[in-house]
Structure 1
Amino acid sequence: MKIKFTPFKWLGRIFPFNWIGDIFRFSFKMLIQGVNKVQESIRLQLIVTFVICLLVSMLTYSLSATFFDQYNKVARIDYTEGKAEIEREARSIVTRLQYKLSGISEDEVKPIIEDMVQYSSYKMLILSLDGKVLYKTPNTTETQVDVHHLISNAMNERIYNDNTSKEFISFFPIDLVSEKAYLVVSGIPRPQIEYDPGSSPIPLIAAVAAFIGLFYWLTKRKMKDVEELAQGLLEISKGNLDYRVPHKSSDELGSLADNINHMAKELQRTIEEERLAERTKNELITNVSHDLRTPLTLIIGYLRLLKDKNYENERQAETYLNIAASKSEKLKGLIDDLFEYTKLSNHGVSLAKERVCLNELIEQLLEETVSYAEENELVLERHLPAEKLMAHIDADKIIRVFENLLTNAIKYSSKPGVVSVRLTREEGYAHICVINNGDPIPEDELDKLFERFYRIDASRTSSTGGSGLGLAIAKSIVENHDGKIWAETVGREIRFCVRLELIDS
């Protein structure tokens, strides 16, 4: 679920400067957008999860290493600080000896060194350039020193940093009044105990365990979603198309769940359509067999009578022959209607569309139907607009639609009575309604009127001359024109309406 960002109006009251509030609002908005982006992407979720686990494992390693290193620390003797102390002692003496720019006399050197000796046990020498001892502390016995060897030892000590208890020597050049000299301070460096951290594999093991455990815990719910998707696919593959995978996230897994559900829905719809098509095919075969068998049985019966000369006179034979011929024509009409419906349903008929005036087409059709209406004691009323309504249609096919509607209206109207035809324009479409009064049609059966071979009651059977395909053929023709046909009833008034798209006059 996404977090919706709502600006905080009270920030201006908290912060004295607007720009501080703006920075806070902008930062908060960027944070929310970032959270939403992470929620929408598994890749970003894995990256964030990996970073969090890595940081926690590093913190775990640091804390455990601190604890275990202190617990396993190793003691060692270190002389570094003792050597540094000797070095500082020598520098301190040099600083005091060289406060005069013109040099210092030997008499001035002795009090300084003696003063330093009171606080130190180190050996101190003042050497001439050739190594002669000019002054020394009481704890020193040398009278002559090899300066070259002394410098070599001191340099080796500094280069190799030998951390042992050997004597450490520090020397500095000084300026006496009479000559150049060296100050040499030496002694055994004071030892100091240092503790080195010990090594242990436990911090690394703890860090790896923390990473794996936290990664498993953070990805547990997502893996559960994946398992549910897999289980859903397995369930659908077994044929349970009513099963739906739960939608739990807005990332790619959520989209996958939606696609799986859509796939199951479409498969279910396709299978239902195939079942309906199979059932419809079976019903069609049954209905066609029934409607073809009735006239065919009569034809065969009368032809057999004629063949066996089972008639009393020529007049009766002629009657049998006329009945057989009439039933043959009816049988031919039924077969023609069936072929026509099949072609229209499978879009096997190409429409010869042309620009046609609906006013004139309906007017002409009504003129041709007047005599048939009068024979049935009906009056045809027309309500046509003065404006010419033009449509791009196949005139012959549309005429067949209205002929069927008018014929049905006349055939099933209450006699005497009126049949009305109304043509109106509504939002770029032409609405044509054929209206008659007759027995009310139940609301739930209005849509079934356009199904093939459907008849409401026994009064509308093949004995009335209908094939049961007229309205089904009319519906197919109208739908092939991207139009719509429907029936509605108000009391005893029955309306069959057609909607066709108009074109500019």
Structure 2
Amino acid sequence: MKLRTKLWLLLVVSTAASMILFGFSSVWIGKVANKGYALFQLNPLAQSVVDLVEQQPVFGPDTVKPILDQAHAEHPAIRWMWLDDQGRSIYDTAGLNPVYSFKDLAMLMQQLPKSYLTDADVHVLTQTDKDGKSYFLLLSLPASAMKQGEVYFLIRKISSLLTLTIPLILAFSLPFLLAIWLFSSINRRIRKLNRALNQLNIQHDSPTVTLIDASKDELGQISRHYNEMALRIRSQFTEIQQFESKRKLLLSNLSHDLRTPLTTMLGCAEMIRTGNYKDQHELQSRAKIILQRCRYMDKLLDQMLDISRLDADDLTLRLAHHNLSEIVRKIAVEYFMILDGGQVVLDVDTPDEDIHLYMDAPLIERALRNLLDNAIRYGKDGRYLGIRLTADGQSVSVIVKDKGKGIPPEHQAHIFERFYRVDSGRSGEGLGIGLAIVKDISLAHQGNVELSSTPNVETVFRIKLPC
């Protein structure tokens, strides 16, 4: 069943049920909470007693007394008096037997509507005839014995019933119409949301359905959440596609990067096995090539392991106080030995006073080595490698600088993304994750990494960590 049908059924059934409930509850509550005599009950009650008296042969005290006493026993709150045409009391259940003049009786009846709305006694006068004489039955009861609330509608013609039903219909129709308007509006907005969800597509070229709903209720919030969700899903799908494309390129590059050194190693090993070399110097040269290619392949496997760890979010910090200056000096010595004999100038600048930091030393060392390897691999043409350590009381900076070919401006915004390589061809080595690891390590330490590069002039990487 559709929501619109459910809403219509709910409105119709609830309206009918409310009217029935109103009628039954009014009657029931009136009987329970509004006890007493109703004004319309007194006249029939008095007439029933007069009918009993009229059956008697004479209207004397002996014949009237049993009937009035019986009525008083059944209705003890009512005082019953039988009067003759002179206003004299023939019998009074209260035993007072007063005498009323015509004026007195007229005043009782004249003040009845007004006295009924006050705390005065209520009187009902009923007349009958016997042997050419008039007799009267007078009922008197206190206001406390009457119902405390009564509503009467006097209808002489059916057409006059419209004066009651039309206001009643209008009274019930107004909330009904307002509910219809509200439910129709909600149903229309839900249909728009449902249609937008059905048309949601994460592909690039598919149109984006944007819901415009300025209201601040729950449906308005859901519509705005839908718009944000649709944009987020499409953006994430685009990122996944790019990531998958880079992953495929990674596998292709990895296959080439492993096959090329492996082919070289096989050729050198075969030459050594067959003894097909000129002298001892050529033998050492071939062995050195095998060693270099083995180290290169070992570095590739380490990078593959890094990829697995990044995918598994296995970057757990083990923080402790360490001497960052000592770590920088130790690494600088190692790279000085690596660069010894080459034409690259190593420039190291650290403060005289050691800098101690609360950090994960192996991870920081790994990040620094990645920057240094990157500078040597791509900036060696500048023949300069600088390492600098600074502190300003708020943060500590580890700076790696080279003067090589640098990074073009159009690549600088993406250089820290996984698998991103400035050179998409095969001239460069590596898998494009070294700088991504540096960024992850910096962020894990609540810091960041910055890049400033002017091609063929200077390229600076700065790891900034809070003190």
TM-aligned CA distance change 1:215 to 1:234, over 3 Å? same
Counterpart of 2:461? Answer: 496
Given that 1:341 and 1:473 are in contact with CA atoms closer than 8 Å, whether structure 2 keeps it comes out as no
Given that 2:383 and 2:404 are in contact with CA atoms closer than 8 Å, whether structure 1 keeps it comes out as no
TM-aligned CA distance change 1:311 to 1:232, over 3 Å? same
Q: Does 1:391 align with 2:373?
A: no
Q: How many residues align?
A: 342
Q: CA deviation at 1:348?
A: 3.1
Of the three residues 43, 63, 86, the one matched with 1:171 is 86
Q: CA deviation at 1:320?
A: 4.5
Counterpart of 1:280? Answer: 246
Identity %: 22
In structure 2, what is the Cα distance between the partners aligned to 1:262 and 1:490? 38
Given that 1:344 and 1:477 are in contact with CA atoms closer than 8 Å, whether structure 2 keeps it comes out as no
1:449-460 maps to which residues of 2 (within 5 A)? 449-450=415-416, 451-452=418-419, 454-456=421-423
Q: Does 1:223 align with 2:135?
A: no
Given that 2:384 and 2:402 are in contact with CA atoms closer than 8 Å, whether structure 1 keeps it comes out as yes
In structure 2, what is the Cα distance between the partners aligned to 1:347 and 1:182? 108
Q: CA deviation at 1:335?
A: 1.6
Structure 1, 208-217 or 357-366: larger mean CA deviation: 208-217
Alignment-mate amino acid for residue 259 of structure 2: R
Given that 1:247 and 1:254 are in contact with CA atoms closer than 8 Å, whether structure 2 keeps it comes out as yes
Q: CA deviation at 1:265?
A: 4.1
TM-aligned CA distance change 1:366 to 1:231, over 3 Å? same
Given that 1:337 and 1:467 are in contact with CA atoms closer than 8 Å, whether structure 2 keeps it comes out as yes
CA deviation digits over 1:286-338, x for unaligned, max 9? 1211211111222234445556x483656566654553443233222322232
Q: CA deviation at 1:495?
A: 0.5
Of the three residues 222, 226, 230, the one matched with 1:260 is 226
Given that 1:440 and 1:494 are in contact with CA atoms closer than 8 Å, whether structure 2 keeps it comes out as yes
Alignment-mate amino acid for residue 321 of structure 2: R
- The secondary structure found in structure 2 opposite 1:196 is coil
In structure 1, what is the Cα distance between the partners aligned to 2:292 and 2:329? 32
In structure 2, what is the Cα distance between the partners aligned to 1:172 and 1:231? 87
TM-score by length of 2: 0.57
Q: CA deviation at 1:275?
A: 3.1
Of the three residues 364, 376, 389, the one matched with 2:330 is 364
TM-score by length of 1: 0.53
TM-aligned CA distance change 1:170 to 1:375, over 3 Å? farther
In structure 1, what is the Cα distance between the partners aligned to 2:248 and 2:449? 26
RCO (CA 8 Å, sep 6+): is it higher in 1 or 2?
Answer: 1
Q: CA deviation at 1:456?
A: 3.6
1:103-122 maps to which residues of 2 (within 5 A)? none
Q: Does 1:244 align with 2:156?
A: no
- The secondary structure found in structure 1 opposite 2:399 is strand
Q: CA deviation at 1:497?
A: 0.8
TM-aligned CA distance change 1:442 to 1:215, over 3 Å? same
In structure 2, what is the Cα distance between the partners aligned to 1:181 and 1:435? 128
Of the three residues 278, 296, 310, the one matched with 2:262 is 296
Segments of structure 1 that go 5 or more residues without pairing to the other structure are: 1-45, 59-79, 81-144, 160-167, 175-179
Given that 1:343 and 1:349 are in contact with CA atoms closer than 8 Å, whether structure 2 keeps it comes out as yes
Counterpart of 2:408? Answer: 442
CA deviation digits over 1:107-152, x for unaligned, max 9? xxxxxxxxxxxxxxxxxxxxxxxxxxxxxxxxxxxxxx97639x96
Of the three residues 418, 428, 443, the one matched with 1:461 is 428
Counterpart of 1:148? Answer: 60
In structure 2, what is the Cα distance between the partners aligned to 1:385 and 1:327? 38
Alignment-mate amino acid for residue 227 of structure 1: R
Larger Rg: 1
TM-aligned CA distance change 1:230 to 1:427, over 3 Å? farther
Q: CA deviation at 1:355?
A: 1.0
Segments of structure 2 that go 5 or more residues without pairing to the other structure are: 1-9, 23-42, 44-56, 72-82, 90-97, 103-126, 135-153
Counterpart of 2:450? Answer: 486
Given that 1:299 and 1:324 are in contact with CA atoms closer than 8 Å, whether structure 2 keeps it comes out as yes
CA RMSD between the two structures: 4.8
TM-aligned CA distance change 1:182 to 1:228, over 3 Å? closer
Counterpart of 2:366? Answer: 400
